[in-house]
Amino acid sequence: MALTSKICAYENRWPAAFGAERARIVHGFGAELMDVHHVGSTAVPGLAAKPEIDLLLVVMEHRDEAARNAYMATLGYVRGSNLSPGHHFYRRDVEGVRTHKVHVCICGHEQIGRMLVFRDLLRQDSDLRQQYQDLKLALEADNRGGIGEYLAQKAPFIDAVMARQG
C-alpha cells in the first residue's frame, strides 16, 4: 500500500504554492480566521517531503461548519475526520494524487504550537532535519500499510523531539 504521494527532494516552488492556496482558502473563513501558517515538511527548506502543501488555519471558533465544508468542497477539498476535538482536517486530491492538507484548529489548541515548533526546529537545525529526512525515507521504503503506518512510525521521533522542548 502506497503513501498518499512519493517523497521527493525539496522544491523551491512550495512556498509559492502555499501562498496561492492560502489566497484561495481564506475567503471561506471570514471573521473567524485569525492566522494561516505553512506547516509540514514542505514548509522546511531543504527537507525532502511528500509534495503535499500543509496549511494550518487558526480560528476563533468553529462556526458554521456546513457552510465551511461546502466552501471547501468548491475548492476541491474533502472533509476528513476530526483529528481531535477542535482540530478539523481537509484534504485535496487532484487526479487521485494528494496535493494539499488543511488543518483548522481553534485558537489555543495544543497542535498549533506543536506544528509550529517542530517546523521551526527543523528549519533551524540541519542535523535534526537530516535525521528526520533519513527516517522518512526509510519508513517510505519499508512501508506496507500505507499512510497510517507511516504517520504512526514517525510519531515517536516527533514526540521525542518535542519532549526535549519542555
Give the separation between CA 166 and CA 93, rounded to whole angstroms: 36
- 16 three-state secondary structure: helix
The closest alpha carbon to 2, from 142, 133, 100, 99, belongs to 142
Please check whether the domain covering 14-163 is classified as CATH 3.30.460.10: yes
Burial per residue of 89-125, b for 16 or more beta-carbon CB atoms within 10 angstroms, e otherwise: bbbbeeeeebbbbbbbbbeebebbeebbebbebbeee
Neighbours of 26 (CB within 10 A): 13
pLDDT of residue 141: 86
3-state DSSP: the chain helix, strand, coil percent, rounded to 5?
Answer: 50, 25, 30
pLDDT of residue 115: 96
pTM, two decimal places:
0.92
pLDDT of residue 143: 83
pLDDT of residue 134: 94
pLDDT tens digits in sequence order for the chain, 166 residues long:
566 778 999 999 999 999 999 999 999 998 899 999 999 999 999 999 999 999 999 999 888 889 999 999 999 999 998 889 999 999 999 988 899 999 999 999 999 999 999 999 999 999 999 999 999 998 888 888 787 888 888 988 898 899 988 6
Strands 97-106 and 53-59: parallel
Q: Would you state the torsion angle of the CA atoms of residues 13, 16, 18, 21, taken in this order, to the nearest 10 degrees?
A: -120
pLDDT of residue 45: 97
DSSP lists the bridge partners of residue 100 as 53, 92
